[in-house]
Structure 1
C-alpha cells in the first residue's frame, strides 16, 4: 500500500513538473500594421520566424494578421486594452494616444545613444504611464520620408496641393501651404486615381509594394524626418513575463539593430527602381532644401511642444531636436 502511494505521489509530482515546464512557455498575440510581404512587414515576419524557432519553451509569437485583421489606427487602443500583446507598428499610428511617440520620427539620434542618454527609458516610461504600452525597440532606422506627387509642384511650391498625410507630418504639410488629408494606405491608390489627393507622404521605400508607382510621377528631394517602425507591447502582459522570458525578448529585439544597415542599401535600390519606372526625382535647390528641412523640424517639434508640454523639453534634449 505504501509502495502504491509512493508511486502515485511520484507520478503526481512528475506530472506537476511537466505541467509547470509546459505552462512556462508564453504565447504573445501579435499584429502588424503593415501589409504582408511589404517592406515594413518583411523584417517583422522574419523576426517572428526566428523568435519562434529560438524561443521554444520560453516565448512564442502567434501572428493574427496585418491591416486586414485590424486597422492600423486601432492598434494602439488594442495594445492598451490587451486585446493584442505585441504589435509591429509606428508611433505615427499611436499619436492619438501618445503624441510623444512622434519624437522617434523627428530624431536622427541612434538607438545606442538613446540608451546611453536615457532617451529610450524616458519615452518607454511615458508610454507605460499614459497608455499601458511598452516600447521594445526599433525594427527599422535611418529611412526618410518623402513627398510623392502625380503633378509637378510649380516653382517648388506645395501650396494648395492635396497631400495624403498622417500625424507625423501633418503640421509640416500645413506649414508648406498644402492641404493634408488622412487616407488609409489601402485607399491611397484609388484616391490618386480619382484626384482626391495630388500626392502623399511616404518613406524612401515601399511604394512598389502597394502599386502606387502606377499613379506617381514625381518624388521630392530631400527626404525629411526618420521613418520609425517599432515593436510595442501591452504592459500588463510584459509584467507577467518572468526574467528569462524578458531577457530573451530583449535580446531578440536588440538583434534587429544589426539589420539597420540594410535599410540604407534598400534606399539606393529603391531610387534606381523609381527612375526605371519613369518617376522623376525633383531635387530642391540648396537654399530651398535647407528651408524645407528647417520647416519640417520646426513644425514637428512644435507639435510635440503643444501636445505634450509636460515632456516636450525632456524629449527634445534626449532625442536631439534639430
Structure 2
C-alpha cells in the first residue's frame, strides 16, 4: 500500500514538474497607458494567449514605459532582456533605418494601401534584416495608430508658411527632422513621455501626432489649434526576440501570431471608429480649435524633398521597391 501511494505521489509530482518546466513566461513592455485603446488590447492579447495555450504561455505586461522609453524597450528586445514590445516603425528605424519609410510624409493614399504594402513582399527584405541582424521578429507588422496632425499653441496653421519659426516637437527620428525643416519650422526632439510638459511649459510651440494620441494624452489641453494636416501615417508593430520565439512550441507560436493578428484587426477597427468621437470631444472642450481647411497640397509639395534627403539612410533599393509596389497597387 505504501509503495503504491509513493508511486502515485511520485507520478503526480513528476507531472507537476513537467508542466512547470514547460510553462513559459514572456515579458511585454510598451509605452502606452492602460487608458489607451492599445494598452487595453495589449493586455487582452496577453490574456488570450494565456487562455489559448492552457496556461503554458504567460505574458506579463508592463505598460506606460515602466521598463524604459520606447526605443530602449525595442533595443532590450534585441538583447533578449525583454521578450516583446510594440514600437512605432520610426522607433524601430534606430536599428533598421528603412523601417522609417512608412513614415514618409504624404507617401500613402489611404490606410488600405499602406496596410497592403507593409504586409507585402516589398517589405520582406526590411523585416528580414530586422530578424537576421538584430534577432527581432515581427509578430504583427500592422498596428494602426492613425494619421498625424499638427497642433500649435497660439498660431492657426493652414499652410506650411504658418509654421515658419515655430519650435515643433519631433520624435528622435531623422525623417521628422527633415519634414519639419521643409515646412520652415525648427524641429525639437522631445521624448514622448515628456511632450505634455514641454507643451505646458512652452518649451516647444507645437507637436504632431494622431488624434487618438492628442486626445488620450490630453495635448489639446495645452494647445490652441489642431490642424488636420494628415501629413503622415503612424504604424506600430508587435515584435518578439527571435530566441524567445524559438523557445515556444510550434503550436504556441501559432497562437501568438493568431492572437496578435486578432488584436491588430481589433485595434484598427476601434481606433478608426473612435477617431471621429475623439475629435468631437476635443472640439467640445473649447481648448483647441479644429482647423479643417488645411492646404494639404501645399504641405505635400514641401514634403517631396524628404524622401530624397532620406534615400541614403533608407537605402535606394528599399525605397525603390516600396515605391514600385505602391505604383503597382494603384494601377490595379
TM range (shorter): 0.7 to 0.9
SS at match of 1:256: helix
**1:107-122 superposed matches below 5 A:** 107=108, 108=111, 109-111=113-115, 114-115=118-119, 117-122=120-125
Residue by residue, what CA displacement relative to the aligned partner does 1:160-184 show, whole Å, maximum 9, x if unpaired? Answer: 1100001252221111011111112
The alignment status of 1:308 with 2:308, answered yes or no, reads no
Residue 104 of structure 1: how far off its partner (Å): 3.6
| 1: CA distance, partners of 2:125 / 2:281 | 39
Give yes or no for contact 2:167–2:185 (8 Å, CA) kept in 1. Answer: yes
SS at match of 1:227: strand
The alignment status of 1:234 with 2:251, answered yes or no, reads no
Residue by residue, what CA displacement relative to the aligned partner does 1:199-255 show, whole Å, maximum 9, x if unpaired? Answer: 001112122322322211111123122211221111121122221111111111111
The alignment status of 1:283 with 2:295, answered yes or no, reads no
The residue that corresponds to 1:29 in the other structure is 27
| 2: CA distance, partners of 1:94 / 1:184 | 15
| 2: CA distance, partners of 1:62 / 1:20 | 21
Which has the higher mean CA deviation after the structures are superposed, 10-19 or 41-50? 10-19
**1:179-218 superposed matches below 5 A:** 179-218=186-225
| 1: CA distance, partners of 2:48 / 2:11 | 34
Residue 154 of structure 1: how far off its partner (Å): 6.6
**1:77-156 superposed matches below 5 A:** 77-106=75-104, 107=108, 108=111, 109-111=113-115, 114-115=118-119, 117-138=120-141, 140-141=143-144, 143-153=146-156, 156=159
* Number of residues of Structure 1 aligned to a counterpart in Structure 2: 315
Q: Which runs of 5+ in 1 are unaligned?
A: none
Q: Residue 59 and residue 119 in structure 1: after superposition, are their counterparts in 2 closer, same or farther (change >3 A)?
A: farther
The TM-score normalised by the length of structure 2 is: 0.83
| 1: CA distance, partners of 2:95 / 2:309 | 14
The TM-score normalised by the length of structure 1 is: 0.85
Give yes or no for contact 1:24–1:57 (8 Å, CA) kept in 2. Answer: no
Q: Residue 256 and residue 155 in structure 1: after superposition, are their counterparts in 2 closer, same or farther (change >3 A)?
A: closer
| 1: CA distance, partners of 2:117 / 2:193 | 35
